[in-house]
Structure 1
Amino acid sequence: MSYDIRITAPSYWVASAVLILLWMLALAANDTRSDRIFGSGNAEYVRVTMASLNLFGIVAIVAFLAKIDIARGYLLIALPAGILMLLVSRWLWRQWLVAKRLGGNYSARVLLVGSSASVAAIARELGRSRSSGYVVVGACMPREQLSSTVPGTDIPVLGSVDDVRDAMTAVGADTVAVTSTDDLPPNKVKEISWGLEAGRQHLVIAPSMLDIAGPRIHTRPVAGLPLIHVETPRFSAGQRFLKRAVDLVASVLGVIVLSPLLLVLTVLVSATSMGPVFFMQTRVGYHGREFKMIKFRSMVVNAEELLADLRAKQRDSGNEVLFKMKDDPRITGIGRFMRKYSLDELPQLFNVIGGSMSLVGPRPPLPSEVALYAQHVHRRFLAKPGITGLWQVSGRSSLSWEESVRLDLSYVENWSMMGDLVIIGKTAKAALAPGDTAH
């Protein structure tokens, strides 16, 4: 004889309480508040989502085996609603934490130890991402490389690699980041770790590998050596299919939802200046293939004829390839408004539907720019160009050429669907509050 256990209405309150308790335990078991991931990157959100999905999978299996009758509607509502609430609460908490970190609070005080060049490189990277929770307060270098400050910064050099303990005390550092080991005496890293206070002070090894995503890096102890394995960037057929499916569905829905706005902009462009509504320009895309990129025309009709003269008069500082002018006289009145809020790029949704572009990807360059590329820059063509990308949410026109390339190559080599969603979210935020970087 078998019995089915049916949960009645009052019992759902008990079931909900048990489920919440199990959910909290699942989040704790998956270390979703680990110091290593809390407040930065996507790993926190991924762990929260996976812990929730695994818990509900286990609940469904147990309910089936024990013949417990739980209404499917209950689970179908509880799972997405719970995940959404968790992610939103984590995001709100992160915004508060980022604001505090930008003010110098809730951040590790870092002492960099290594060669002058490696210390300067890591200091620049950490300076760019203050929200990550690391504030560089000083540095120690080999005696033959000592200077008053870290090159290119105002970070003080507090002594040689033999003065780490005294330097930490002097600036109140709680973290030592070793940026290179080649210039350190044998066993020096061990000596530094032995001198740290357990639980209060930490040692971080910062190898000279920039723009490599965490999932591609694995440590493997071999004969007492902590070897770091870096996986070769891979973009499988399944990943390409997923990205294309998301692009197609989202762009079609985008065109449908935004059709009234597209119509209004079409009328405004046509009514406020002479010339065609759309601007078609040849760009270089996936695998180096050229395509016609569509935008709302935001400049006067003879803009290309005026380019050579303007290029000679004004270029962005440090940008040897891209031409961007803050107060470009070729831009029309409605064009300036559209560019400020990135509305001129909305027709590129049709490029996405056609398959020549993606929602997120590297910046689509001009053929004349590609002619000036160094060999390694061509790696950006391993992915379809995007309407938005890391370059779009990291400074846009204010970026130097080197920074633009670094961000594009970082995207290509570290692509993930979650990363795309984060970039889309940041793009929406940047479009609503564009600041001074949209030219």
Structure 2
Amino acid sequence: MDLSYSAEDETFRAEVRAFLEDSLSGEWGSLRGLGGPGKDHEAIDERLAWNRHLAAHGWTCVGWPTEYGGRGLSLWQQVIFHEEYARAEAPARVNHLGEELLGPTLIAFGTPEQQQRFLPRIVAVEELWAQGYSEPNAGSDLANVQTRARLDASSGTEEWVIDGQKVWTSNAHFSQWLFVLARSEPGSERHHGLSFLLVPIDQDGVEVRPIEQLTGGSEFNEVFLTGARTSASLVVGEPGQGWKVAMALLGFERGVSVVGQVVGFARELAGVVALARENGAYDDPVLRDRLAGLKVELEVMRLQALRGLSAADDAGAASIFKLVWAGWHKRLGEVAMAVLGAEGLTARGAPYDLDEWQRIFLFSRADTIYGGSDEVQRNILAERVLGLPREARG
């Protein structure tokens, strides 16, 4: 695998870097480093305005084909964009679920009418999306979805009527739309009889309740659907075939943005090393060895991410990478606490003012759960890649 960049790619890198340096040195400079896991509640309105600034200059949906409003960048140019975005400490985008997940899904499975209705608004960051997958008894076991959807024409217009509860729904409290996996065929079980629906949030049948986290933020939500309605035409793919669409969307989740994630991890590790040098913890040979191990693992992780992007037919690449980065980030949080020592046990101020390392330690507990828990990823590798017997399910 050739991991070198062409002269054309490096010219493109210079273009991205110049745009970000210029933009983040002006009115947007105060947004550097804001948002992201564990602090996604920060400066939402300001980050939304920043996202629209990106859109106005053609820097949203960069990997989408040009006919759908994107830039049509090559894979490696997309990697470069996400690397440079992370290196510039640009604020976390609020449009991730629409741009990285739903948009590509609509391009692959949506009708022309759905594409025309939703894709331009995602590109322009005019409408934000949340993901209605997980339920209280259907998180990592997504096939256990119990939310129900039925067609109803009593109002004179055929609509889907949806009843159920979703949980861990990122950003639902400031989004306008929810893509929902619901059981649309009575009596169906597991992967069968599910439909992928697009549901407006601002209606009487949808209630959003933020969930306060250990980090103090509330980026996750419970969403209660009680007679929620959406047009019969807003089913993506065929009714009853939603599992295929849902799995395709999760495949897009492991896209090129993960390379930018690795750059962000490198910055966090450098910060922990600097802290260890400053407070003398670096003199501890055991702790220094743990930091060195994280450095080596991070480089391997970067190469694994690039390999995964190049090997489109590697069924296990996404699961392996999820296991690797989630475990690494969790260990980084633990090492950060070891570097802080007793100081890490108390908040900086009342009532609950956490520093960056405390927040990483607490939030990284969730890294091994959301987006497919470690247990589920190992089952996928065992059953689908290694061909081992399926896990017994009671």
TM-score, scaled to structure 2: 0.27
Question: Which structure has the higher relative contact order (CA within 8 Å, separation 6+)?
Answer: 2
TM-score, scaled to structure 1: 0.25
